[in-house]
Amino acid sequence: MKLRSNSTSRLPPPPLSATQLTTAQSSWSWSHSFSHQLHRDRQSQIFRLLSDGEQVMIRLSRQTIRRLTSAEASRLSLVESMSAVLSPNANIALSYAKKSSLHGEEDNTNDTNSNSNASPPEIDMAITFLGTGAGSPSSARNSSSLVFSTPRLAWMFDCGEGTQHRMFKCSSPKLKPSSINRIFITHMHGDHVLGLPGMLFFLANSNFHRDEPLHIHGPPGIRNFINNTFRSVGSAIHLPISIHEFPQSRIGDEPKKIVCDGNIEVHAGKISHSCDCWGFVITESDRKGELNVDALIKEGIRPGPIYRQIKAGESVALPDGRVVDGRQFVSSFIPGRKIVILGDTNNAKALIKKSKGADVVIHEATLPDHEEAIATRRGHSTPSMAGNFAKKSLARVLLLNHVSPKVSEEGFAICNGMAPIDVRAQAVNAFGSDNVVVGVDYLRVDIDRKQPVQLEHCIESRNQIVSNII
């Protein structure tokens, strides 16, 4: 997609100074033109400028970046890596922007004490629910959608009606439409896919420059759905898109690898529903142990080819006759994390083997336990069915989503005018673990390496969201 300006005559004079840039109460039209002008500079870097609730892509030259103080830089949200731009001794601390910084509120960044090696605070890995409802959206829950994010990527899973609006209300830079790298669609039911055309319209008509195509992964038919939608409304998509349809398969087939992006892989497997539906297993590569070079040097073992054997954990004979155990000089390896995201299903056993040892399982719980027969007939699950899957897959944490308005758990009962049902208790009983959270819109679940999910914080955040809803 190319950046366009409404009028070339509106382009501002030569680039503003860093101070002018960050203190000006910029309008959309000003930023629009500014980004168009600086887009031609190949040596520039992309930033987002938050102004009056809008996100605008701008590019700053290397010279301008180097002149930024840490206070000014803290008002900008980093989009592309700065490592190739900033000199090693650059006195600058970058952090993710807060809206308050652009509207005259106090900025507590200390310029004189800023650390040249400081980096933006990053969520190591997270799941954010944008829609946790089943079927039609309600006042409490939007149609299905969630975002899996790391510091370098943001992947959306399902895009139900209203997903854009949910994203606009999120404060995280990772949860803006322009930040999404890939979209995965579990199946072609409307509550999982009807927000996709609107999302693509927005991206195609915005001024966000996308160097890489937006990858869309979905069932056979997703390509025709997108093409026919835009053809029907007489519009073209001026946006680089790469559509990947899942290969034809049967329930029970071995899940297939569909994405390998750096240290993260995604496998897709077919699961039982009223139409063709897929579930996904996101797997992070194991992190190998680190060699303790300082300890080796302290023992008189200088760097050389022998380090390779030691890092492999082998017993190595030294020239002086000593034999060292390599395992004593290598930190324990850290297993990669695993997240399972299931589409609508009444039986996902085809993915149990691939899901073994998952840090997080996200499973639907459309209807309460006493309506299991109805749920199964319609291709859906109950909280207990979700709990059983989590138990069989030896999962650490179970997150429930795709909750029907009929399932009026405590807190939402007021919204729906129904007697509360303890959805969580039903899942806990089947799972055999208290590590269960019933998802709500806007809930973010951080998945740390050492402590996969901090449940107390997660539940506290959830309760706060619910109290705001009711």
Pair 221, 364 in one domain: yes
Catalytic residue among 191, 276, 344, 369: 191
Query: How many domains does the structure of the chain reveal?
Result: 3
Q: Is residue 111 part of a domain?
A: no
Cα 362 versus chain centre, distance: 14
Q: Cβ–Cβ contacts within 10 Å for residue 241, how many?
A: 17
The per-residue pLDDT for 64 is: 52
Of 329, 354, 386, the one marking the end of a domain is 329
User: Is residue 347 in some structural domain?
Assistant: yes
Q: In this structure, is residue 3 part of a structural domain?
A: no
Q: What is the pTM of this model?
A: 0.67
Could you tell me how many helices (H) and strands (E) the chain has, helices first? 16, 19
- In this structure, the answer to whether residues 282 and 297 fall within a common structural domain is no
Q: Are residues 200 and 140 in the same domain?
A: yes
* Cα–Cα nearest to 380, from 371, 393, 388: 371
Q: Which of 49, 68, 102 is the last residue of a domain?
A: 102
pLDDT of res. 83:
29
Please report, in tens digits, the pLDDT of each residue of the chain (470 residues total).
333 333 333 333 344 343 333 333 232 222 333 333 333 333 334 343 333 333 333 444 444 544 444 444 444 433 333 323 332 322 222 222 222 222 233 333 333 333 333 333 344 899 999 999 998 887 778 999 999 999 889 999 999 999 998 888 876 766 888 889 999 999 999 999 999 999 998 888 877 777 889 999 999 999 999 999 988 988 777 888 999 999 888 888 889 999 999 889 999 999 999 999 999 999 998 877 788 888 888 888 888 888 888 888 788 888 888 988 888 888 877 788 999 999 999 999 999 999 999 999 999 999 989 999 999 999 999 999 999 999 999 999 999 999 987 666 555 555 555 556 788 899 999 999 999 999 888 888 988 876 656 666 666 676 677 666 55
**Long-range Cβ contacts of 445-451 (<8 Å, 24+ apart):** 445/126, 445/127, 445/128, 445/360, 445/399, 446/123, 446/124, 446/125, 446/126, 447/124, 447/125, 447/126, 447/127, 447/337, 447/339, 447/359, 447/360, 448/124, 448/125, 449/124, 449/334, 449/337
Give the pLDDT score at 330.
Answer: 85
Q: Is there a single domain that holds both residue 234 and residue 185? A: yes
Based on the fold, state whether residues 279 and 366 are members of the same structural domain.
yes
- Strands annotated E in 158-310: 182-184, 214-218, 241-245, 256-261, 264-271, 277-284
Please indicate, yes or no, if residue 156 is contained in any of the structural domains.
yes
pLDDT given for residue 132 in this prediction: 93
Please give the pLDDT value at position 303.
87
Q: Is the domain of 324 the same as that of 344? A: no
441 in catalytic set? no
CATH, residue 429: 3.60.15.10
How high is the pLDDT of residue 366? 93
Q: Closest by alpha carbon to 144, among 176, 174, 201, 184?
A: 184
Are 12 and 75 contained in the same domain? yes
Same domain, 132 and 269: yes
Q: Which domain holds residue 40?
A: 8-102
Residue 39 lies in a domain: yes
**110 belongs to a structural domain:** no
pLDDT of residue 339: 97
Q: Is the domain of 261 the same as that of 276?
A: yes
| 74 found inside a domain | yes
The pair of structure tokens assigned to 247 is 């290969």
Select from 276, 308, 329 the last residue of a domain: 329
Residue 134 lies in a domain: yes
Are 23 and 136 contained in the same domain? no
pLDDT at residue 120, as a whole number: 35
Examine the domain organization and report whether 251 and 313 are in the same domain. no
| Residue 356 sits in the same domain as residue 407 | yes
Dump the DSSP string for 427-444. HHHHHTSS-EEE--TT-E
Taking the C-alpha atoms of residue 21 and residue 32, their distance in angstroms, rounded to an integer, is 14
pLDDT score of 274:
95
